[in-house]
Amino acid sequence: MLTNNAIAGANNTAATGFDPVSASADVSANKDMFTKLLVAQIRNQDPLAPSDPSQFVNQLSQLSQTEALQSLSKTTSASASVLQSMQVLAMGGQVGSQVTVATDRVRVDGKAISASINLPSAGATNVVLTGADGQNHSVSLPFHAAGTRGFTIDPGALGLAPGSYAIAARTTEGAAVGVEVAGTVSSVRLSGSGSVVLQVEGVGAVDPAAITGFNGKAAELASN
């Protein structure tokens, strides 16, 4: 008959002897060991003083749950990897496409930048671009009806040197208005953390979640 010390030692091994994420072989080995110990205990127990196998049963149940969770974790990781690959392929197909991006920064390289705001109500708006030197450059937009209002950022007219600028828009009443910039997707890459990053002309590095519209490729737009 197995002693209580042997049973306790086996339980301690199960509690500390495996990693539920990276050591699936250890989990299976521990489960097999406990099964054998349980069978041996039942076979060798004193018929007049039968042992209580509930502790072993509980441990086996915990090991089974660990195996199930480990299997689910592997399946989830595999699914996430597939979805990420699909996202990279999908976004890669957008290279050369015109997109609209919700942003609070623009990247100036000498070319005019197409942008827009969505006015909640009719009114005039002031757009301010702030460079690394802290200098503000304003674009005053006259009264316009509620809805989308497009405008152009002309680096030459505003005296904008190449570089990155913060951009913000406010109505004459002081309400903040989101800015969207239209640009061409020049490349798609994976960051160090594995997330997809798009390079958009006029904006810079962009998270796919910031894209508010896919407007087609230049050739397609020209044919319409």
Q: Cβ(187)–Cβ(121) under 8 Å?
A: no
* Topology adopted by domain 97-218: Immunoglobulin-like (2.60.40)
> Nearest CA to 198 among 58, 76, 84, 99?
99
How many helices (H) and strands (E) the chain has is answered by 5, 12
* Encoded tokens for 92: 């890669």
- What distance in Å separates the CA atoms of residue 146 and residue 16, rounded to the nearest whole number? 64
Give residue limits of the domains in the chain.
Answer: 4-80, 97-218
Region 93-117: what's the mean pLDDT? 94
Whether the model pTM is above 0.95: no
Q: What is the pLDDT of residues 123-174, one digit of tens each?
A: 999 999 999 999 999 999 999 999 999 999 999 999 999 999 999 999 988 8
